[in-house]
């Protein structure tokens, strides 16, 4: 069984446990449920923003522990002040060391879009995302059917949430594309074997229809790469480990942004 299969299996148990604990009505009554989410597009294309989607990531299956001490409010505020267009906050507990409270803290400390970074397999998680103050949800093509992507995208849009579809190859892109999406992210990391290759983004960018925002995800560590990805047509750049592996992620992003 590969890591994605393990994550999805565990996620099913996690979602079942959450449903038993918190009702849909409780989620709908949460304070954030009534807020109007930020437009991902507005912030990604804003002239005074960088296009960087800066991720708060404590650990990962590929790297193990990345940062065990960072404070989510402090780091995400620093990301925001450095010009991040959006924040990505992992809420997966078992594999990434994230939690709901991280998303709530990032939301409370910032007024820019926040992506709930998790493995969405059930509409209930989209309601959670809205209740916890997220603006964007992630749909990963390799773990969902085209029907699920369409239905989850529609469900999220009906809640005013933005939808980022993640693909890793042309086959995933072609089978998953549907109108209920805002952005398409090309993951440079193969989630089956963890190999990374930025060329994956360059190979796929022209296959993504221009009506969608184009995001390059993972393994970005060089400011020069951002310049090349922009020229190729990307609007956004999801970066986690490169900042989080340092003692001061807020300083790391500032120095990175000065070079793009
Ligand atoms: O990062 C992993 O090891 C990983 C393993 C299995 C599924 C997903 C995984 N990562 C999720 C991501 O998409 C990244 O956190 C994100 O793109 C940022 O990547 P990076 O800049 O390389 O930290």
Burial of 25 (0-12, 13-18, 19+ CB in 10 A): exposed
pLDDT at 7 over 90: yes
Indicate the domain borders of the chain: 3-258
Burial of 140 (0-12, 13-18, 19+ CB in 10 A): buried
Mean pLDDT of all residues in 222-251: 98
Q: Among residues of the chain, what percentage have pLDDT more than 70?
A: 100
196 φ, ψ to 5°?
-125, 145
138 DSSP assignment: E
Q: What is the dihedral of CA 40, 53, 55, 171, to 10 degrees?
A: 80
Give Cα separations from 249 to 64, 82, 146 (angstroms).
Answer: 17, 11, 36
For the CA of 62, the nearest atom of ligand 1: 3
The whole-number pLDDT of residue 26 equals 98
Burial of 20 (0-12, 13-18, 19+ CB in 10 A): exposed
Q: Helix 100-109 vs helix 72-81: angle between axes, to the nearest 10 degrees?
A: 40
Task: Give residue 176 CA to ligand 1 midpoint distance, Å.
Answer: 20
Containing H/E element for 72?
Answer: helix 72-81
> In whole angstroms, what is the distance from residue 260 CA to residue 255 CA?
9
Computed over every residue of the chain, the mean pLDDT equals 97
Task: Give residue 190 CA to ligand 1 midpoint distance, Å.
Answer: 9
The whole-number pLDDT of residue 245 equals 98
pLDDT tens track for 145-168: 999 999 999 999 999 999 999 999
Q: pLDDT grade, residue 20 (50/70/90)?
A: very high
171, 202 Cβ separation under 8 angstroms:
no
> In whole angstroms, what is the distance from residue 240 CA to residue 252 CA?
11
Mean pLDDT of all residues in 209-220: 98
Q: pLDDT grade, residue 192 (50/70/90)?
A: confident
pLDDT tens track for 100-121: 999 999 999 999 999 999 999 9
CB 128: neighbour CB atoms within 10 A? 25
pTM: 0.97
Question: 3-258: which CATH topology?
Answer: TIM Barrel (3.20.20)
CB of residue 242 inside a 6 A radius of ligand 1: yes
The whole-number pLDDT of residue 1 equals 84
Residue identifier of the C-alpha nearest atom 17 of ligand 1? 218
> In whole angstroms, what is the distance from residue 63 CA to residue 19 CA?
31
> In whole angstroms, what is the distance from residue 97 CA to residue 67 CA?
10
**ipTM value:** 0.98
CB of residue 201 inside a 6 A radius of ligand 1: no
CB of residue 8 inside a 6 A radius of ligand 1: no
pLDDT tens track for 28-76: 999 999 999 999 999 999 999 999 999 999 999 999 999 999 999 999 9
> In whole angstroms, what is the distance from residue 134 CA to residue 164 CA?
13
pLDDT tens track for 244-253: 999 999 999 9
Closest by CA position to 164, among listed 186, 183, 187: 183
């Amino acid at each position: 069984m590969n890591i994605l299969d393990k994550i999805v299996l565990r996620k099913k148990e996690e979602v079942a446990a959450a449903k038993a604990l918190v009702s849909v009505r409780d989620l709908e009554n949460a304070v954030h449920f009534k807020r109007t989410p930020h437009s991902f597009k507005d912030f990604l294309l804003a002239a005074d923003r960088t296009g960087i989607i800066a991720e708060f990531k404590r650990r990962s299956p590929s790297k193990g522990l990345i940062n065990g001490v960072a404070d989510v409010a402090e780091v995400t505020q620093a990301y925001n002040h450095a010009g991040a267009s959006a924040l990505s906050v992992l809420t997966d507990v078992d594999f990434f060391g994230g939690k709901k409270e991280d998303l709530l803290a990032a939301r409370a400390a910032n007024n820019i879009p926040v992506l709930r970074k998790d493995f969405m397999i059930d509409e209930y998680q989209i309601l959670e995302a809205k209740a916890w103050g997220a603006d964007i949800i992630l749909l990963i093509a390799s773990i969902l059917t085209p029907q699920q992507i369409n239905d989850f995208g529609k469900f999220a849009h009906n809640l005013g949430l933005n939808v980022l579809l993640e693909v890793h190859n042309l086959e995933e892109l072609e089978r998953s594309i549907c109108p209920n999406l805002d952005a398409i992210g090309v993951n440079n990391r193969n989630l089956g074997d963890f190999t990374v290759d930025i060329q994956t983004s360059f190979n796929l960018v022209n296959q993504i229809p221009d009506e969608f925002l184009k995001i390059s995800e993972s393994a970005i560590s060089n400011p020069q790469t951002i310049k090349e990805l922009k020229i190729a047509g990307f609007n956004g750049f999801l970066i986690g480990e490169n900042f989080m592996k340092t003692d001061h992620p807020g300083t790391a992003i500032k120095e990175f942004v000065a070079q793009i």
